[in-house]
Amino acid sequence: MSRTPEHAAALRSALARTASGADAGELARATEALVARYRSVAPASAPILASRVRVAAYASYRMPATHAALARVLDAVAARGLAPRSLLDLGGGTGAAAWAAAGVFASLESITVLDQVEDALALGRVLVADAPSPALAGATFRRAFAGAWPDLEADLVTVSYVLSELDERQQDTLVSDAMRRGRTVVVAEPGTPDGYARVLRVRAALLAAGWTLLGPCPHEADCPLAPGDWCHFAARLERSAEHRRLKGAELSYEDEKFSWVAAASPGVVAPRQEGATSGRILRHPLKRKGFVEFQACRPDGTAGREVISKKAGERYRRARDAEWGDTLP
């Protein structure tokens, strides 16, 4: 059973403790600067988390959403039967992916987070001090630079919300580094057209290397979505009082939009068998009296409308519970 809710609550508590010791005005100004930077799609010319206050602002403003997105992604990876014992997070900053992985995979025994910003790593160490799982509480946060990562290997390598800060050559190098070090690689990016374009480049590299896609695609053909459309999903998360204040928000929740791809190196999982894979739900389902309508990506490489009526019995009952991003019943 996923321990994500327990880890999400523990992360919120840890973030609240760290935010309580920071100057509110400095946090607000740093958050505004981060919002402006993350809305830009240009590669970063310098580290974005360039000061302790920016690191604290990032943790309060972005870390809960990143954690929520990665938890949904890794839940889907776990559904393919994977139970990694080791995690390596490249460019992991304050450790959002580490928290997500520890909540999803009870099998984890070791976690290593690599990043170039020591202040981010230092905060990551503070946040996991009272983490609810031994692997997370004992996680290693180590300073390292892209292109010069230490010679480490892991069952699972994550690269989350990092590629947007790099040019295409750097992106390709980072993905190659992840593939050399991991038996399974997960890449997540913001759920925007440019974020999905980066995910498609990663997908192409994974397939070219002979890796097996784990998700979200139910096929290994070209993306069937029409030009102007893009594959993305959403994770709903609760906002703490501090989170709402920093964002100037009134709602007690938000929906984090993300795009992702995951794949396993040859031999880690069995290749897809024809007829054994369901489709992926691409939009919020329309639930009407007597039927549920979906937009779905199908195993045959097409995408479009799927309707499951009450006559389908058990399949219809499962369809009533299905959500955007789930596999199609």
Task: Dump pLDDT digits (tens) for 172-192.
Answer: 999 999 999 999 999 999 999
pLDDT for 59: 81
When pLDDT is cut at 50, 70 and 90, the band that residue 47 belongs to is: low
Cα Rg of the chain, angstroms = 20
pLDDT in tens, 311-326: 999 999 999 999 999 9
Contacts of 291 (CB under 8 A, 6+ apart): 307, 308, 309, 310, 316
Asked if the model's pLDDT at residue 105 lies above 90, the reply is yes
Q: How many CA atoms lie within 13 A of 70 on its CB side?
A: 31
Q: Is the model's pLDDT at 264 over the cut of 60? A: yes
Given a cut of 60, is residue 1 above it in pLDDT? no
> Dihedral of CA 22/28/32/35: which sign?
positive
- Domains defined along the chain, listed by start: 4-264 (3.40.50.150), 280-321 (no CATH)
User: In whole numbers, what is the pLDDT of the chain averaged over residues?
Assistant: 89
The pTM of the full predicted model, rounded to 2 decimals, is: 0.90
Band of the pLDDT at 237, cuts 50, 70, 90?
confident
Q: What is the pLDDT of residue 34?
A: 63
Taking 90 as the threshold, does the pLDDT of residue 142 lie above it? yes
Q: What is the pLDDT of residue 19?
A: 74
More confident residue, 244 or 123: 123
Q: How far apart are CA 162 and CA 20, in angstroms?
A: 28
CB 314 within 8 A of CB 308: no
3-state secondary structure (DSSP) of residue 191: coil
Euclidean distance between CA atoms 73 and 189, whole angstroms: 11
Of all residues in the chain, the percent with pLDDT exceeding 70 is 84
Q: What is the pLDDT of residue 56?
A: 78
